[in-house]
Amino acid sequence: MIFSKKEKQLVAYTIEKCPLCKKESKREFKQGDCLFVESSKCVSCNITMNIAKIFGEPIE
Protein backbone atom coordinates (compact mmCIF):
# COMPACT_ATOMS: atom_id res chain seq x y z
CA MET A 1 0.00 0.00 0.00
CA ILE A 2 1.31 3.42 -0.97
CA PHE A 3 0.51 6.53 0.97
CA SER A 4 0.67 9.32 -1.53
CA LYS A 5 -1.43 11.84 0.31
CA LYS A 6 0.59 13.82 2.80
CA GLU A 7 -1.44 16.01 5.04
CA LYS A 8 0.22 18.92 6.71
CA GLN A 9 -0.45 19.04 10.37
CA LEU A 10 -0.62 22.33 12.14
CA VAL A 11 0.28 23.07 15.68
CA ALA A 12 -1.29 26.15 17.21
CA TYR A 13 0.68 28.66 19.23
CA THR A 14 -0.37 31.54 21.41
CA ILE A 15 1.65 34.74 21.75
CA GLU A 16 1.19 36.57 25.01
CA LYS A 17 2.32 40.15 25.37
CA CYS A 18 2.97 42.11 28.52
CA PRO A 19 1.40 45.59 28.28
CA LEU A 20 4.13 47.06 30.45
CA CYS A 21 7.49 45.76 29.28
CA LYS A 22 6.16 44.62 25.88
CA LYS A 23 7.79 41.27 26.32
CA GLU A 24 6.26 38.52 24.24
CA SER A 25 6.16 34.92 25.16
CA LYS A 26 5.21 32.06 22.92
CA ARG A 27 3.56 28.94 24.15
CA GLU A 28 1.41 26.19 22.78
CA PHE A 29 -2.22 27.06 22.28
CA LYS A 30 -4.55 25.64 24.82
CA GLN A 31 -8.29 25.31 24.88
CA GLY A 32 -10.04 28.51 25.87
CA ASP A 33 -7.35 30.85 24.54
CA CYS A 34 -8.89 33.85 22.88
CA LEU A 35 -7.50 37.06 21.43
CA PHE A 36 -6.98 39.92 23.88
CA VAL A 37 -8.13 38.02 26.90
CA GLU A 38 -5.99 38.06 30.00
CA SER A 39 -3.60 35.20 30.24
CA SER A 40 -0.63 34.25 32.39
CA LYS A 41 1.45 36.70 34.38
CA CYS A 42 4.60 38.45 33.24
CA VAL A 43 7.43 37.17 35.39
CA SER A 44 9.24 40.51 35.55
CA CYS A 45 6.26 42.87 36.09
CA ASN A 46 3.94 40.50 37.92
CA ILE A 47 0.94 41.74 35.96
CA THR A 48 -1.34 39.82 33.67
CA MET A 49 -0.33 39.58 30.03
CA ASN A 50 -2.74 39.73 27.12
CA ILE A 51 -2.95 37.30 24.26
CA ALA A 52 -1.69 39.18 21.23
CA LYS A 53 -1.68 36.54 18.55
CA ILE A 54 -2.79 33.00 17.87
CA PHE A 55 -1.34 31.23 14.89
CA GLY A 56 -0.61 27.84 13.45
CA GLU A 57 2.72 26.45 12.32
CA PRO A 58 3.10 23.37 10.17
CA ILE A 59 4.88 20.41 11.69
CA GLU A 60 7.72 19.29 9.48
Residues of this chain that interact with Zn ion (CB under 5 A) are 18, 20-21, 42, 44-45
Shortest reach from residue 11's CB to Zn ion, in Å: 26
- In angstroms, the Cα distances linking 38 to 3, 4, 6, 24, 33 are 43, 43, 37, 14, 9
Q: Choose between 11 and 21: whose C-beta lies nearer to Zn ion.
A: 21
Cβ proximity to Zn ion: between 41 and 56 the closer is 41
Query: Given the complex with Zn ion, which of 31 and 46 has the nearer CB atom?
Result: 46
Angstrom distance (rounded) from CA 36 to CA 53:
8
